[in-house]
Amino acid sequence: MSADLTRECEKLRERLPEYAEGRLEGRLRARVEGHVSGCPRCAAEVADLRTVIAAVRAVGPEETPEDLIPRVRRAAQERVPAPAGVGLFWARLAVPVAVLTVLVAVTFALRAPRKQAFVAGGGVMESAARAPAVRASKPKQLGDEMVGEPGLEIAQKMEAAEGLARGWAGPAAEQPAPPRAREDKASSYPTYQAAPPAAAASPAAASPADASKASDQLDTTAFVRERGAARSFDTDGTATARMGKGEPRAPAERRLKEGVGRAGGAGRGGGYAMGGMRAPAAEAEMFAGTCEESAKPVEAPPLSARAALVSGAGGKLIALQLAAEQPLGEIALRLGDASPQVYAWHGPEGGPAWIPLTGDAIGAGPAAIPIELRAGDASRDYVLFVPMMARLGESAPAAPVGGYGGQSLEAVLAEFTALTGLVVLAERPLDVKMTGEMPRGKPSEALEQVAAEAGFVAHREGDLVYTLTHRR
Amino acid sequence: MHAREAGSTETSELVARAKQGNREAFDVLVERYTPQVYNISLRITGSREEAEDCVQEAFLRAFTALRRFRGEAAFSTWLYRVAVNVANDATRRLRGQPLRASELAGGDPDASTPDLEGVGESPGGKGDGPEESLVEAERREVVIEAIRTLPEHHRTVIVLYDLQGLSYEEIGRVVGARVGTVKSRLNRARLALKERLEPHLELLRG
């Protein structure tokens, strides 16, 4: 075959399928026809293409499974909010911050059966789930140094997720409920659970006298100031501190510091404390005393949150990584219509702490979960947009379609999430009115463009997870 | 084949009613478009079971975002776009997970016939007699498998053009590309498909 012929083959090769189908017209058709008639190789290619095209078309449609239409109808009826209901949906879920604040600002009067949540790096958060709350006053900073770094490796996330999964459901069922603390001031504090060494959970350490003594020695301010020093705790044991007005929690931390010191790699892949070895007696007594020192307001620390999608035991879940330059006082999460879950912070400066959000916890269907991070009087609000939970973690992004129609960024993100399967953690406020069209193209690029238009910056946290923060 | 928007007026009315929350309109739209969405999903994913999930997901996504549909394009095109996205998502997720032959041919996914022998008995098989049915089923099998292994953008245009009968323009609206791009992509997709089917050309010619 001559060089010229070969070059013409290369030039025309991409047109052969169109030619084979008979869709080429005009001069191009004539050119291809002329070439093919003199080129056995391309003629054979055309013949093969015709065979392939015919074979593909012969595949034809397949009958729809009988029960598919009823199933899709049912799913649509159950899971698609009515248009008028979209607003209601949001109104229902997007609880005004004021309301949330009030809820959070109330101290827990009752201590409902608690669920443990996992904090990467070895800590354990405990939520007073669905407990009515009245917080007396400004909470003080609390937290033990946790070993861990803001950017956990995926293996750690996985491990965290698994730990979370265990801790989320396990302790309440597996362990006797801790005795109620006094039904006075102490019991009106939100609860906080740290993970001290076993020594801290020993009967001796748990005696009221010790607790009282330790409490007397408390210098919370100093403690807070000292926080820059490296401190950590082992995660094999568990004790509980309380927080709230004048929370006398330092004893536990003191014990943790003095008794254990650094726990080294506890947060780096091992030593996640889930369940086990809780010391109810210590919990009850250690913080029964009243701290005379009033809580001092803390400066608003920079707060931030990130989200990660991790695989845990038995399924997918979202883990929120919450971080702050100073430890946060409380973290309130409202999941769906449920009462807020309030967690005490138990992370180091700068985090990280991971909170699991399982599909069960969030519920089915697209959801927007308001999240309030609090530290003293400071707070920052986020909304976590999650896609269909049933397919969480299974669905890769797809490009969104359509226009904004003057919707708020919040509404746009909700739809974006539902359409693409992306998980978006966005910082509030999200009331920017969006106009124009949803960008076309890759969802990731579309999201970045949406964020940019609204004055946000999109941080990619993984294949499916983005964090949106205000451009500052 | 692709259901052109024959009753477009009626469809637009249904869409308008669905946007207002009319559940019966949802039902009719589901009934009307499920066959097309199912076949798109089936041919993109190559799995019946996955396709059924994709259909459900596609309608849920579409209905959730229905109020943003303004009717500039045909509803079907808009819905197909969602369906293609969902099916491609699923395929990415499935990548690396081997499918059984019975699944590929549309047979009972639970049947323990992991080879071609079961294909001829699948519901997807056509033909006059057992032998004919087996050969046709085998052809379908190799074609479907070849389509399934195409890169996503190639697979999408092949499915929409050759299997769903969409025009270049419609495909352009579905995949968000210009007509020229669609043509070029389809040409390359067919060449890629032909390469994959080279070993089976004799069977296909039969």
- Break chain B into its structural domains and give their ranges: 8-97+149-205
Question: What pLDDT, on a 0 to 100 scale, did the predictor assign at position A48?
Answer: 95
For residues A365 and B164, the model is more confident at B164
User: Range with the lowest mean pLDDT among A267-281, A349-363, A400-414, B22-36?
Assistant: A267-281
Share of chain B above pLDDT 90, in %: 34
The span from the CA of A375 to the CA of B91, in Å, is: 44
Question: What pLDDT, on a 0 to 100 scale, did the predictor assign at position B64?
Answer: 80
Mean pLDDT along residues A268-286: 24
Mean pLDDT along residues B87-91: 84
Question: What pLDDT, on a 0 to 100 scale, did the predictor assign at position A408?
Answer: 84
- Tens of pLDDT, residue by residue over B118-148, are 223 333 333 344 555 678 888 988 999 899 8
Contact A13 B191 (CB under 8 A): yes
Residues of A in contact with B204 (CB under 8 A): 51-52, 54-55
pLDDT band at residue A411 under the 50/70/90 scheme: confident
Q: How many CA atoms lie less than 13 Å away from A410 in the CB half-sphere?
A: 21
The span from the CA of A36 to the CA of A165, in Å, is: 65
Q: How many CA atoms lie less than 13 Å away from A113 in the CB half-sphere?
A: 10
- Tens of pLDDT, residue by residue over A281-299, are 222 222 222 222 223 333 3
Average pLDDT, chain A: 52
Nearest residue of A to residue B16 by CA position? A83
ipTM of the complex: 0.81
pLDDT band at residue B200 under the 50/70/90 scheme: very high
Residue A259 corresponds to which tokens in the numbers above?
């008794």
Identity of the residue in A56, A77, A366 whose CB atom sits nearest the CB atom of B143: A56
- Tens of pLDDT, residue by residue over A144-165, are 222 222 223 333 333 333 333 2
- Indicate if the alpha-carbon torsion angle B85, B90, B93, B99 is positive or negative: negative
CATH number at B8-97+149-205? 1.10.1740.10
Question: What pLDDT, on a 0 to 100 scale, did the predictor assign at position A436?
Answer: 74
Question: What pLDDT, on a 0 to 100 scale, did the predictor assign at position A307?
Answer: 66
* Residue burial B27-39, b: 16+ Cβ < 10 Å; e: rest: bbbbebbbbbbbb
Q: Please answer whether residues A136 and A94 qualify as being in contact, where contact means their C-beta atoms are separated by less than 8 angstroms.
A: no
Contact B20 A83 (CB under 8 A): yes
Question: What pLDDT, on a 0 to 100 scale, did the predictor assign at position A322?
Answer: 61
Question: What pLDDT, on a 0 to 100 scale, did the predictor assign at position A89?
Answer: 34
Three-state secondary structure readout of chain B: CCCCCCCHHHHHHHHHHHHCCCHHHHHHHHHHHHHHHHHHHHHHHCCHHHHHHHHHHHHHHHHHCHHHCCCCCCHHHHHHHHHHHHHHHHHHHHCCCCCCHHHHCCCCCCCCCCCHHHHHHCCCCCCCCHHHHHHHHHHHHHHHHHHHCCCHHHHHHHHHHHHCCCCHHHHHHHHCCCHHHHHHHHHHHHHHHHHHHHHHHHHHHC
Question: What pLDDT, on a 0 to 100 scale, did the predictor assign at position A10?
Answer: 87
Closest approach of chain B CAs to the CA of A107, in angstroms? 39
Question: What pLDDT, on a 0 to 100 scale, did the predictor assign at position A402?
Answer: 59
* Residue A279 confidence (pLDDT) above 50: no
Spacing of C-alpha A80 from chain mean position: 23
The span from the CA of A341 to the CA of A318, in Å, is: 16
pLDDT band at residue A338 under the 50/70/90 scheme: low
For residue A139, whether the previous peptide bond is cis, meaning omega lies within 30 degrees of 0, is no
Question: What pLDDT, on a 0 to 100 scale, did the predictor assign at position B191?
Answer: 95
User: Range with the lowest mean pLDDT among A186-190, A445-449, B68-72?
Assistant: A186-190
Q: Is A435 near chain B, with CB under 8 Å?
A: no
The span from the CA of A372 to the CA of A381, in Å, is: 5
Residues of A in contact with B143 (CB under 8 A): 55-56, 58-59
Contact B67 A84 (CB under 8 A): no
Identity of the residue in A14, A63, A69 whose CB atom sits nearest the CB atom of B30: A69
Closest approach of chain A CAs to the CA of B160, in angstroms? 11
pLDDT band at residue A373 under the 50/70/90 scheme: low
Mean pLDDT along residues A127-136: 28
Question: What pLDDT, on a 0 to 100 scale, did the predictor assign at position A356?
Answer: 60
- Tens of pLDDT, residue by residue over A422-432, are 778 888 888 88
Q: How many CA atoms lie less than 13 Å away from A270 in the CB half-sphere?
A: 5
Identity of the residue in A76, A82, A398 whose CB atom sits nearest the CB atom of B85: A398
Question: What pLDDT, on a 0 to 100 scale, did the predictor assign at position A211?
Answer: 31
Q: Which of residues 6-25 of A touch B (CB under 8 A)?
A: 13-18, 20
Match 């608690």 to its residue by tokens.
A114
Statement: the pTM of the whole predicted model exceeds 0.80: no
- Break chain A into its structural domains and give their ranges: 3-59, 97-286, 304-470
Question: What pLDDT, on a 0 to 100 scale, did the predictor assign at position A18?
Answer: 93
Mean pLDDT along residues A84-102: 33
* Residue A123 confidence (pLDDT) above 90: no
- Tens of pLDDT, residue by residue over A387-399, are 654 444 444 445 4
- Tens of pLDDT, residue by residue over A13-25, are 999 999 999 998 8
